[in-house]
A and B are shown apart, each in its own frame.
Chain A
Amino acid sequence: MSTIDLWAKEGYLSTPDGNSIYFWGFAKSEAGPAQLPGPHIIARQGETITVNLHNTLPEPVSLSFTGQRGVLADGNPVGPQHQNDQLVSFVNHAEPGDSITYTFTPSHPGTFMYESGTYPHKQVPMGLYGGLVVRPIDYNPDIQEYKTVYGYGTDTEYDREYLLITGEIDPNLHQAVKEELPYHTGSYLPRYWTLNGRCAPDTMFPDNLDYLPHQPYGSMVMGQPGERILMRYIGAGVSNHPLHPHGNHARVVGRDGRLLRNGSGDISFKRFTVLVGAGQTYDLIYRWDGLGYSPENPIPTTLPDRRNMGIGDAGWTMWSGSPYLGRKGDIPVEVVSYNEFGEYYFMLHSHEELQITNWGEFPGGMMTWVAIYPSLSPDVGTLL
């Protein structure tokens, strides 16, 4: 039985345009920084998990585990909470300075989320959310047929996995919370759109950077040709986002933590854009074997469009300068290339393009890359 401690705390987010935004998040330890999204919780089907929530914020906070059955709070079934006859929380909460213990036993594998169930119009946009991954009961990462999203024989094997959690930030409402001013949802106007709590280009940087202490998770999706790359999308914000791996297709194998299969009937489907609805999850398996590539034939039949590799007018590119995977070539002198080993890049972004800006400035926001490397360490693309 695994136990996790989460501290609800305040902190400051960094955005690429230099802004610093007050937020509420979950920390892994009492002394640790609040983070956005909260720490990933990795559970296992059929194994009871305990989550201790410690509330250091000035109002009640709770954890709601959508899609989980039989959740207990301090040993009793969770239920709505009221103060002065007004609904405060959908589930039992911890008062400021208090703690509460939730336990549940996931009955299904898949991708889920956890979030505050208290004043959710404020606390969820403020950052009190995170991802919950439930491994199938027969999960074994060392055996290919058992390294799956939904269990042996469900055609959901994968080589690498990535969790991408969407969110939005209205800096004025965050400031209102900081200054204890009224929180007017009617004036809600997001200016930042986040993947794993970061805005592009920070999304493209590695995990656990010293200078982003509150935003530990990067969003780069990396793999090798022919690998099955699992992308778990979670819509944690209050808006829907059409996420789109540029010029590529992915197979949707699960939604809201449920395999898309009825008996022997496979109802998975391919999409190049999925609308990640608020509070909903998608599991997609993506495989790049594109454009005639094979190890024996490393020449792509079609040259990648350079425009798909450049980023705005910033004068930088992810292009290697060569159409051959694993080779680097010449690029114009005024252009800075961030290509490492001749890998290919495909943008993965919200197709609501206002959202790939930081406060209106492109590039930014809900955008990252899918990068196909000629070879890549097996340690890349694992969730701890």
Chain B
Amino acid sequence: MALITRIFQVAAETLSLPDRNVPFWGFSDVLFNKPQNPGPLIEATTGDLISIWLVRNFLQPVGEPLSILFPGQENVWARKIFSEPLVYEPVKPQYSSGVMMSLTNYLDENNSFDISIDYIFAANRPGIFLYESGTNPEKQIQMGLYGVIVVRPVGNSIFGHPNYKTAYGAGTGSSYDVEKILVLSEIDSGMHDNVEPGVYYDMLKFKPDFWVINGRSFPDSINDDNTSSQPYGSKIECRVGERVLLRIINAGFQNHTFHLGGFTGRVVAEDSFPLVAAEMDATYEKTGITLGSGQSVDLILTPETPGRFYLYDREYHHLVNNNVFPGGMMTVIDVRE
């Protein structure tokens, strides 16, 4: 068991989409100092304590109260420096004069004593989880304030351990050779253009025009990881016969039906609950899977032939950039001999 501490800030930056740039809000690891989409990946082992410090950005405030919500985590506690609560208390929805302000404790830029808020919780079970804004979430999550926590079982990286290279431990059908996290979302560029300079945008007009995996639209999605504000590539590389663990999580507002490139995969966990229990094996095979907002699946593919195969949103009108195919929510798997 370890204590994992990360220091986050929120700042505005620019997303590079295939035909245009779009302003966004992102979390940054202050040590690296560049906001990114999705937010920095947090990696932990079951039993670790995760502590996230959200520090006020004095130089470049986005002008809104800010918070982080941890769906799927229990017993999240928070404290603030230098206002209430000064000592850790369980997080709870926040109200002001009877009006809900936030789904969880938040950092208030109008309060000069609010320097930072830190959230702490134990990563009690393995899986893939979102973290996302809990304040004005209809706006802030779409602006880019979301990221992923991956919790691996004890022994995941210890060769010879029964849990070595498994997503959920021995006996859960989740052993893998290659692991890839795919975070699905969509972007309404007109909304971003308005919100960043502070113009009111009616979210009832939400109409996305870009569809992204790990913050990038095709063909950018198949580029390697880099140090930009969209650091995570989505290309999958493996050899014939290897077990590829795809960890797909929907951070967007729309449901997405993700098609597995013609392969048939086996779903081993839904919302990070493994589908194998002592009494029964409820894993199942699929060629594509519909994910509601906030939902996730872990599935295993085992390619049998070499080649390049496309994985994409089967809602084909999301495979465009500015109405032109190919683009959008699509990536590739390159299978070598």
In the complex, the answer to whether B259 meets A66 with C-beta atoms within 8 Å is: yes
In the complex, the answer to whether B281 meets A280 with C-beta atoms within 8 Å is: no
B 278-296 binary contact with A (CB < 8 Å = 1; else 0) = 0011111111111000000
Quote the shortest CB–CB distance from B212 to chain A (angstroms): 16
Known: A184-B323, A277-B314, A279-B257. Is A258-B281 also a contact (CB below 8 A)?
Answer: no
Q: Which chain B residues numbered 3 to 46 have a C-beta less than 8 Å away from chain A?
A: none
Which residue of the partner chain, among B264, B315, B317, B325, contacts A67 with CB atoms under 8 Å? B264
Quote the shortest CB–CB distance from A129 to chain B (angstroms): 11
A 105-130 binary contact with B (CB < 8 Å = 1; else 0) = 00000000000000111101100000
Known: A79-B307, A120-B319, A277-B314. Is A255-B286 also a contact (CB below 8 A)?
Answer: yes
How distant is the Cα of A60 from the Cα of B134 in the complex, in angstroms?
Answer: 47
In the complex, the answer to whether A240 meets B283 with C-beta atoms within 8 Å is: no
Known: A77-B307, A80-B308, A186-B209. Is A280-B323 also a contact (CB below 8 A)?
Answer: no
B305 at the A/B interface (Cβ < 8 Å)?
Answer: yes
A227 at the A/B interface (Cβ < 8 Å)?
Answer: no
Which residue of the partner chain, among A184, A256, A279, contacts B264 with CB atoms under 8 Å? A256
Quote the shortest CB–CB distance from A252 to chain B (angstroms): 10
A 159-184 binary contact with B (CB < 8 Å = 1; else 0) = 00000000000000000000000111
In the complex, the answer to whether A185 meets B317 with C-beta atoms within 8 Å is: yes
Contacts of B319 in A (CB 8 A): 120-121
B 294-311 binary contact with A (CB < 8 Å = 1; else 0) = 000000000011011110
In the complex, the answer to whether A258 meets B316 with C-beta atoms within 8 Å is: no
Number of chain A residues close to chain B: CB under 8 A:
42
Q: Chain A's interface: helix, strand, loop or mixed, by majority?
A: loop
A292 at the A/B interface (Cβ < 8 Å)?
Answer: no
B326 at the A/B interface (Cβ < 8 Å)?
Answer: yes
In the complex, the answer to whether B314 meets A262 with C-beta atoms within 8 Å is: no
Contacts of A267 in B (CB 8 A): 280-282, 284
Contacts of A182 in B (CB 8 A): 323
Contacts of B326 in A (CB 8 A): 86-87
In the complex, the answer to whether B284 meets A239 with C-beta atoms within 8 Å is: no
How distant is the Cα of A173 from the Cα of B323 in the complex, in angstroms?
Answer: 12
Contacts of A152 in B (CB 8 A): none
Contacts of A256 in B (CB 8 A): 264, 285-288
In the complex, the answer to whether B320 meets A121 with C-beta atoms within 8 Å is: yes
A 126-155 binary contact with B (CB < 8 Å = 1; else 0) = 000000000000000000000000000000
In the complex, the answer to whether B286 meets A122 with C-beta atoms within 8 Å is: no
Q: Which residue of B lies closest to A68 (CB)?
A: B262
Contacts of A122 in B (CB 8 A): 325
In the complex, the answer to whether A125 meets B310 with C-beta atoms within 8 Å is: no
Contacts of A188 in B (CB 8 A): 317
Q: Which residue of B lies closest to A184 (CB)?
A: B323
B 122-163 binary contact with A (CB < 8 Å = 1; else 0) = 000000000000000000000000000000000000000000
How distant is the Cα of A185 from the Cα of B310 in the complex, in angstroms?
Answer: 20
Which residue of the partner chain, among A90, A238, A260, contacts B317 with CB atoms under 8 Å? A238
How distant is the Cα of A279 from the Cα of B319 in the complex, in angstroms?
Answer: 14
In the complex, the answer to whether A262 meets B283 with C-beta atoms within 8 Å is: yes
Contacts of A275 in B (CB 8 A): 290
How distant is the Cα of A119 from the Cα of B290 in the complex, in angstroms?
Answer: 22
In the complex, the answer to whether A70 meets B317 with C-beta atoms within 8 Å is: no
B255 at the A/B interface (Cβ < 8 Å)?
Answer: yes
Residue of B304, B305, B325 with most partner-chain A CB within 10 A:
B325
How distant is the Cα of A70 from the Cα of B305 in the complex, in angstroms?
Answer: 8
Contacts of B314 in A (CB 8 A): 238, 277-280
A 248-271 binary contact with B (CB < 8 Å = 1; else 0) = 000000011110101101010000
A306 at the A/B interface (Cβ < 8 Å)?
Answer: no
In the complex, the answer to whether B316 meets A265 with C-beta atoms within 8 Å is: no
In the complex, the answer to whether B288 meets A121 with C-beta atoms within 8 Å is: no
Contacts of B281 in A (CB 8 A): 262-263, 265, 267
Quote the shortest CB–CB distance from A167 to chain B (angstroms): 12
A69 at the A/B interface (Cβ < 8 Å)?
Answer: yes
Residue of B281, B284, B317, B325 with most partner-chain A CB within 10 A:
B317
Known: A125-B316, A238-B316, A265-B281. Is A67-B287 also a contact (CB below 8 A)?
Answer: yes
In the complex, the answer to whether B307 meets A280 with C-beta atoms within 8 Å is: no
In the complex, the answer to whether A277 meets B257 with C-beta atoms within 8 Å is: yes
A350 at the A/B interface (Cβ < 8 Å)?
Answer: no
In the complex, the answer to whether B284 meets A280 with C-beta atoms within 8 Å is: no
How distant is the Cα of A184 from the Cα of B324 in the complex, in angstroms?
Answer: 8
Contacts of B280 in A (CB 8 A): 262, 265, 267
In the complex, the answer to whether B282 meets A238 with C-beta atoms within 8 Å is: no
Q: Which residue of B lies closest to A107 (CB)?
A: B264
In the complex, the answer to whether B209 meets A280 with C-beta atoms within 8 Å is: no
Which residue of the partner chain, among A90, A240, A279, contacts B310 with CB atoms under 8 Å? A90
Contacts of A156 in B (CB 8 A): none
Contacts of A68 in B (CB 8 A): 262
In the complex, the answer to whether B323 meets A186 with C-beta atoms within 8 Å is: yes
In the complex, the answer to whether A277 meets B289 with C-beta atoms within 8 Å is: yes
Residue of B209, B259, B310, B316 with most partner-chain A CB within 10 A:
B316
A320 at the A/B interface (Cβ < 8 Å)?
Answer: no
Q: Which residue of A lies closest to B290 (CB)?
A: A277
Contacts of A121 in B (CB 8 A): 316-317, 319-320, 325
Quote the shortest CB–CB distance from B330 to chain A (angstroms): 9
How distant is the Cα of A148 from the Cα of B281 in the complex, in angstroms?
Answer: 23
Q: Which residue of B lies closest to A262 (CB)?
A: B281
Q: Which chain A residues numbered 62 to 94 have a C-beta less than 8 Å away from chain B?
A: 64-70, 77, 79-80, 86-87, 90
Quote the shortest CB–CB distance from B122 to chain A (angstroms): 32
- Chain A residues close to B by CB (< 8 Å): 64-70, 77, 79-80, 86-87, 90, 119-122, 124-125, 182-186, 188, 238-240, 255-258, 260, 262-263, 265, 267, 275, 277-280
The 8 closest A-B pairs by CB, nearest first: A279-B314, A277-B290, A185-B317, A258-B285, A87-B326, A278-B314, A262-B281, A121-B316
Knowing that A238-B317, A256-B286, A280-B290 touch, tell me 11 more A-B residue pairs with CB under 8 angstroms: A64-B262, A67-B262, A69-B304, A80-B308, A90-B262, A90-B309, A90-B310, A122-B325, A238-B316, A265-B282, A278-B315
Q: 25 A-B contacts, Cβ less than 8 Å apart?
A: A69-B304, A70-B305, A77-B305, A86-B326, A120-B316, A120-B319, A121-B316, A183-B323, A184-B323, A185-B317, A185-B323, A186-B209, A238-B314, A239-B315, A240-B255, A256-B264, A256-B287, A256-B288, A257-B287, A265-B280, A267-B284, A275-B290, A278-B257, A279-B287, A279-B314
